[in-house]
Amino acid sequence: MIVFTEEEMLENREEKRNQPNYKKISYKCESCVLGFTRKDTFDQHMKKRHDKNIGKIICKICQSRYNSIKSLEKHRKKHYVVYKCKLCYYKTLEMWSMSNHCRLKHSNDVQGRIHCQQCSVIVGSPDELSEHMQSQHLVQCNQCGDKFKGKHTLRTHKIYECMECKKKFASKVYWRKHCEFYHQRKSQYKCETCNKLFISDWRLKNHRQTQHGLTRSRNHSCNICGKKFFTQSTLRGHQLTHSEERSYMCEDCGDTFKQRPALYTHSRLVHKTRTTTMTTV
């Protein structure tokens, strides 16, 4: 446990503001120095922490609102305390989160013998672990040269920006589809019954099923185990269970998962949030 002085606490907040990832993220709460990749999670944060209806008592540091002095004092202590892992660079404001981190990430580790989570290498210190990760496990964007912790972060790396609404995309295909559908109202997916347009075939099929009573059939089969699914996207999610690829990464602690629901459950239980910090397109 590290306890900050007033000056150190303010310096830490300023340091967060100057981090490259914070500067280029789409949505920011400058009061809390928190970044969000999606507008809905940003709006949820603002409503949960800064809405006037919460209460009249305001934290002088981050302007979060509370309805009692007791709640405010419990909150304010978190600005001055951080828990830092001795075996890696993970930091958190909550003791329970640190306990979960050590249990999940370092169950076989001791000081001087730290296992890499992605290969069989054992290192002697957090510095060595960081150096190993930087040299062996970063992936590079072939368009801008930036490096990332995992394939998922690379895929959600924002490159293409919509000139109309400023939304950013990792894929040129999704960027073009967004512009054509939302700003030009162009789509090849049209409901014959009500003439409504959809951005994808899957959304059109879902609309037909829910609004017009189209019968669903399990005609998407797994080529490994034979299990059948209603949609191709559900099948792809299932097939990840047969693969060693862990494409979904938690941006809070770096844990990786095979499926999006597993990442969601991890974020909710370990980091006490109901939203993941990954970008969706």
- Predicted structure pTM score: 0.44
What pLDDT does 275 receive?
41
Q: Is 113 helix (H, G, I), strand (E, B) or coil?
A: strand
Domain ranges in the chain? 2-77, 85-137, 226-270
**pLDDT confidence bin for 145, thresholds 50/70/90:** low
Give the per-residue pLDDT at 273: 56
Strands (E), the chain: 2-3, 27-29, 34-36, 57-58, 65-66, 81-84, 91-92, 114-115, 122-123, 139-140, 147-148, 160-161, 168-169, 189-190, 197-198, 220-221, 228-229, 248-249, 256-257
Distance CA 76, CA 61 (A): 8
Asked, colleague to colleague, whether 85-137 and 226-270 share their fold, the answer is yes
Architecture per CATH, domain 85-137, reads as 2-Layer Sandwich (3.30)
Res. 249 pLDDT band, cuts 50 70 90: low
238: closest CA among 266, 269, 215, 262?
A: 262
Work out the average pLDDT over 229-245. Answer: 72
Mean predicted lDDT score pLDDT of the chain: 80
More confident position, 18 or 153: 18
Angle subtended by helix axes 95-105 and 260-270, to nearest 10: 140
Categorize the per-residue pLDDT at 55 as very low, low, confident or very high, splitting at 50, 70 and 90: very high
User: 226-270, what's its fold?
Assistant: Double Stranded RNA Binding Domain (3.30.160)
CA 132 to the chain's CA centroid: 24
Number of residues written out for the chain: 281
